[in-house]
Amino acid sequence: MIVAEQKSLDEIKTMLAPYQKVLIVGCGTCVTVCFAGGEKEVAILASALRMATGLEGNPKQIMEATVQRQCEYEYNEAIADKLKEVDVVLSLACGIGVQTMNEQFPEMLTLPGLNTTFLGQPTEQGVWVERCQACGNCVLATTGGICPIARCSKSLLNGPCGGSQGGKCEIDPDVPCAWQQIYDRMKALGRLEALLEVAEAKDWRTSRDGGPRKIVREDLRLEK
């Protein structure tokens, strides 16, 4: 899922300073699951803002809404009416939701209330870790199902580097060395020989380096 974190209340207040009536819009998908921008977080942020702006003697009108999936026009239609009543929207969706809102409702500015952080997985209650960088050409088949692009600090394709010690990455004793994990997994699978071949330099065109990416599926497109 897409993992995000709420911006600080101070930053949000600064962003909202020029506006009086604010609609906070949460999203019911990834950011709900990672407790950053679902219905509950929208409610908590709304009351925090009401309280803070009230104490400062200039209470803002804060409205709340949560759509099922903010990255699709279809779901955002549900809140189109509410937009007429406010000066600005504060989105608690990922950056994709924020952009969808801005594109769909060009007359209304939608501000980001979250920092979209990574594509990851909850590993235990309250902990999320990065798992994929959407490189566009998945190599998990050759690395025992562990991503070296996202999980090795240097995105090495032929690790582990000389800084790997005790299963930890050289950058931080709290960061596992992805290549130690890959090694252990390949060993357990009896496939260590696959790590003896030099992995070719990666073609990054499928990644962000090739420019903004787009997928067109002719089989799914509607007849024009």
Partner 1 sequence: MKVGSNLEKILTAGYFAATGELGPPKNADPEVIRRKAEILKGHVDAVNITDNQTAVVRMSSISVGIMLLNMGIEPTIQMTCRDRNRIAIQSDLLGAAAFGIKNLLCLSGDHQRFGNHPMAKNVFDLDSMGLLRMVRDMRDAKKFQCGEEIKGPAPCFFIGAAANPFADPFEFRPYRLAKKVAAGADFVQTQIVFNVPKFREYMQRVGDLGLLDKVYILAGVSPIRTAGAAKYMATQVPGMDVPEEYVRRMEDAVKGIPKEDKAARKAAWEEEGIRICVEIIQRVREIPGVAGVHIMAIEWEEAVPEIVKRAGLLPRPQV
Binding site for partner 1 (CB under 8 A): 153-168, 170-172, 177, 180, 183-184, 195-202, 204
Shortest distance (Å) from residue 210 CB to partner 1: 13
Residue 213 CA neighbour count, 13 Å, CB half: 12
Rounded to an integer, what distance in angstroms lies between the CA atom of residue 176 and that of residue 170? Answer: 9
User: Tokens 């005790």 correspond to what residue?
Assistant: 166
How many residues make contact with ligand SF4 (CB under 6 A)?
24
Shortest distance (Å) from residue 120 CB to ligand SF4: 11
**Cβ proximity to partner 1, 198 vs 222, nearer residue:** 198
**Cβ proximity to partner 1, 91 vs 181, nearer residue:** 181
Range 160-179, binding ligand SF4 (CB under 6 A):
160-161, 163-164, 169-170, 177-179
Residues 6+ apart with CB under 8 A from 215: none
Nearest 5°: phi and psi at 200? -60, 150
Tell me, residue by residue from 115 to 144, as one string, x for binding to ligand SF4 by CB under 6 A and - for no binding: -----------------xxxx--xxx----
Q: Which does 166 bind (CB under 5 to 8 A by kind): partner 1, ligand SF4, none?
A: partner 1
